[in-house]
Structure 1
Amino acid sequence: MKVLFIGESWIVHMIHTKGYDSFTSTKYEEGATYLLNCLRKGGIDLTYMPSHEVQVRFPQSLEELKTYDAIVLSDVGANTFLLQNSTFYQMQVVPNALELIRQFVAEGGGLLMVGGYLTFMGIEGKANYKNTVLAEVLPVVMENGDDRAEMPSGFSPAAARSHPLVDGLGDWPKLLGYNRLKAKPEAEELLSHGDDAILTVGTFGAGKTAAFASDCSPHWGSLEFMEWEHYPAFWTRLVQYIG
């Protein structure tokens, strides 16, 4: 199984002020290293594309995209795909990357979106996937605007029904937040918190889709979650399911 995993990277710019003087520093971080290692150990042939590389490395045709069985999007907003350099700076007409993903799923590919500050709608609505073609593809209905539910005291998702993806996992560890989502009528809500869908699976055309409303890494992915004995098996099982 070949998977294209996109996102979970960021650059932090810091200002250090010491009395009268200040200086700046920059650091680059990736959040999914542990998850990617788990998936590779689970036998998945994984290509990792950090968020900033979408500009130069995302496939420009459906044929290129079809070399993969599934795509995972985690904490990377719609603008990263829609405002590529050639369009934003050179005003060139280029393929709509999100439309390519829609066609990819319709013709049998898999798609998983993982929650975070820049997925689904995200912080201040900046991820903005509700207003893209992926709203049709995903198995969930997104809110308007900022959809974050911050849970500093933690919450544990509850199984909504029996399903091979969640059976046998026991009690879930606490997570620290999620994107508020509702399962579409034709989809299957597998994990819930109150009235919100935490894990939802569905189909679009010939492909399978999934939406995990919380994070695969900090900060919503608590240390308890990252150290959970079933963490590797859950994610490997989920990615294999959509492929």
Structure 2
Amino acid sequence: MKILFIGESWTIHMIHAKGFDTFESTEYVEGATYLLEGLKEEGFDITYMPSHEVQVRFPKTLEELNKYDSIVLSDIGSNTFLLQNATFYNMEKIPNALSLIKEYVQNGGGFLMIGGYLSFMGIEGKANYKNTILNEVFPVEMKDYDDRAEYPEGINPKTVKEHEITKGITAWPAFLGYNRFKAKSDAEVLVTAGEDPFLVVGKYEKGKTACFASDCAPHWGSEEFMNWSYYKPVWNRILNHISR
């Protein structure tokens, strides 16, 4: 099973002040390493595209996307797809990457969005997927604004519907936050966090879709979640459910 996993990377630029003097350093981080290595162990063929590589690596045609069984977006905002260098700096017309994803799902491809500060609407609404063409594909209705629900004390989701994804899972580990959204009328809510949907699955024309409200990795994903016995199985099940 071939999966295109996009996002979950960031660069941190720091200024260190030591008395009178300062110096700068830069750190590059990939948050999904643990998950991707686990999926590879489970037999998935993973193509990983960090956020900054979308500019030069994202497929320009539907034919290129169709070689994948599912596309996963995790903690990467819509601007990264819509404001690519050719358009932003050189005013060139290029294929709309989000339109290509939409068409890919219409034709039977799987789609999963995983939560984070730049997923769904995200911090200060900057992820902004509600106001893109991809909004139609999601099995959820997004907020009009910053959709984060922060739980520094931890919140434990609960399974509310038995499904091939949730079979045998009743108690979930604590999460430190998630993105708030509402399930569309034709979608299935499998897991909730408080009064909010947490894991939702649905369909868009010939394709299957899913939304997971929290992180697949730190920081919302707690150590308890990362060490959970169902950590790898639940992602395996989600991808098997939505993939072609």
**Same-fold status (TM-score > 0.5):** yes
For residues 190 and 133 of structure 1, the distance between their equivalents in structure 2, rounded to whole angstroms, comes to 25
TM-score with structure 1 length normalisation?
A: 0.99
Output aligned runs, 1:170-185, within 5 Å: 170-185=170-185
Cα distance, 1:170 vs structure 2: 3.2
8 Å contact from structure 1 (residues 77, 129) kept in 2: yes
For residues 13 and 54 of structure 1, the distance between their equivalents in structure 2, rounded to whole angstroms, comes to 20
Q: Which residue of 2 aligns with 1:220?
A: 220
For residues 182 and 170 of structure 1, the distance between their equivalents in structure 2, rounded to whole angstroms, comes to 22
Query: Is 1:150 aligned to 2:145, yes or no?
Result: no
For residues 167 and 69 of structure 2, the distance between their equivalents in structure 1, rounded to whole angstroms, comes to 24
Q: Which residue of 2 aligns with 1:104?
A: 104
Q: Percent identity?
A: 62
Query: Is 1:37 aligned to 2:40, yes or no?
Result: no
8 Å contact from structure 2 (residues 158, 170) kept in 1: no
8 Å contact from structure 1 (residues 38, 236) kept in 2: no
- The residue type paired with residue 186 of structure 1 is D
TM-score with structure 2 length normalisation?
A: 0.98
For residues 174-207 of structure 1, what are the alpha-carbon distances to aligned partners after superposition, in whole Å with 9 as ceiling and x for unaligned?
A: 0100000111010000000232110000000100
Q: SS state of the match for residue 80, structure 1?
A: helix
Q: Which residue of 2 aligns with 1:80?
A: 80
- Count the aligned residue pairs: 243
Q: SS state of the match for residue 119, structure 1?
A: coil
Runs of 4+ in 1 over 3 A off after TM superposition: none
For residues 233 and 170 of structure 2, the distance between their equivalents in structure 1, rounded to whole angstroms, comes to 13
For residues 197 and 42 of structure 1, the distance between their equivalents in structure 2, rounded to whole angstroms, comes to 27
For residues 226 and 157 of structure 1, the distance between their equivalents in structure 2, rounded to whole angstroms, comes to 15
Output aligned runs, 1:106-185, within 5 Å: 106-185=106-185
Q: Which residue of 2 aligns with 1:67?
A: 67
Cα distance, 1:239 vs structure 2: 1.1
For residues 42 and 134 of structure 2, the distance between their equivalents in structure 1, rounded to whole angstroms, comes to 28
Deviates more, 1:166-175 or 1:144-153: 166-175
- The residue type paired with residue 166 of structure 2 is V
Q: Where does the alignment leave 5 or more consecutive residues of structure 1 unmatched?
A: none
For residues 153 and 166 of structure 2, the distance between their equivalents in structure 1, rounded to whole angstroms, comes to 23
For residues 147 and 186 of structure 1, the distance between their equivalents in structure 2, rounded to whole angstroms, comes to 22
For residues 41 and 51 of structure 1, the distance between their equivalents in structure 2, rounded to whole angstroms, comes to 23
- The residue type paired with residue 203 of structure 2 is T
Cα distance, 1:160 vs structure 2: 1.6
- RMSD, matched Cα: 0.6
Cα distance, 1:42 vs structure 2: 1.1
Q: Which residue of 2 aligns with 1:234?
A: 234
